[in-house]
Structure 1
Amino acid sequence: MTRRLSRCLSIAKKIGDRRVDKVLCAIFEREERAYMDAEKNYNEMVEEVEARREYRHGLIVELMKIERDFVLDECLAVLRAAEQEDFAEISRLIMMGHSAALRAGEKGRIARKLRKLA
């Protein structure tokens, strides 16, 4: 590798091998791990939002049992809107986790192909 490839050289020093296929394999394995960690983080965030939504839904059910007046109706409307926002956030996090899993799979396939070359 030439001096112009300073980033590749730094990775080559870390893994102890200057062959291009080994360096590329290390890069793709690192990216695969990063995307797998991101997917795990998204799944944890989904669980946290789901717990918050369930708690809020319990409050809504309890408030609906009480006699209704204007203030209570306004509070219920705010809680229902927040619950809908939680649903939207959950769906967004699920989509982001799915796309991270797809990218991790893609990087893993490339890394496996590079390992077969060596």
Structure 2
Amino acid sequence: MPRRFPKYLKIAHQIGDRRVEKVLCTIFEREKQAYVEAEKIYNEMMEEVEARREYRHGIILELMKLEIDYVLDECLDVLRAAEQEDFAEISRLIQMSHAAVIRAGEKGRMVNKLRKLK
């Protein structure tokens, strides 16, 4: 293989095989694994945000039981706004996790097709 393909040659050297389908299969396997790991990270982040939101919601419920005055109203408004931001972040993380699963599936299908060529 000419030196014009340094990335291809690097991967071929790593796996010990210069066949195109083997190199492509390795590339797609690595990408699939990266997307699977990304999905796990998104799910962990989602759990952390959900725990923070639940804790904050408990504080909101306790403050609502107290006598309401101007200062508490402001605090409640700030806490409710933060809770809404947490909902938005959870929604974004769900979308990103879903996208990572879809991409991992696409890469997995490509790996299966390439393995059939062997």
Give the TM-score of the pair, scaled to structure 2: 0.99
Q: Which residue of 1 aligns with 2:100?
A: 100
Residue 2 of structure 1 and its aligned partner are, at CA, apart by 2.4
Q: Which residue of 2 aligns with 1:76?
A: 76
Gaps of 5+ in 1: none
CA distance in 2, matches of 1:10, 1:51: 44
Q: Which residue of 2 aligns with 1:41?
A: 41
Give the TM-score of the pair, scaled to structure 1: 0.99
Residue 76 of structure 1 and its aligned partner are, at CA, apart by 0.1
What's the RMSD between the two structures over aligned residues? Answer: 0.5
Q: Following superposition, which runs of at least 4 residues in structure 1 exceed 6 angstroms of deviation?
A: none
Residue 3 of structure 1 and its aligned partner are, at CA, apart by 1.7
Matches within 5 A, 1:1-118: 1-118=1-118
How many residues are paired up? Answer: 118
Gaps of 5+ in 2: none
CA distance in 1, matches of 2:2, 2:98: 38
% identity of equivalent residues: 74
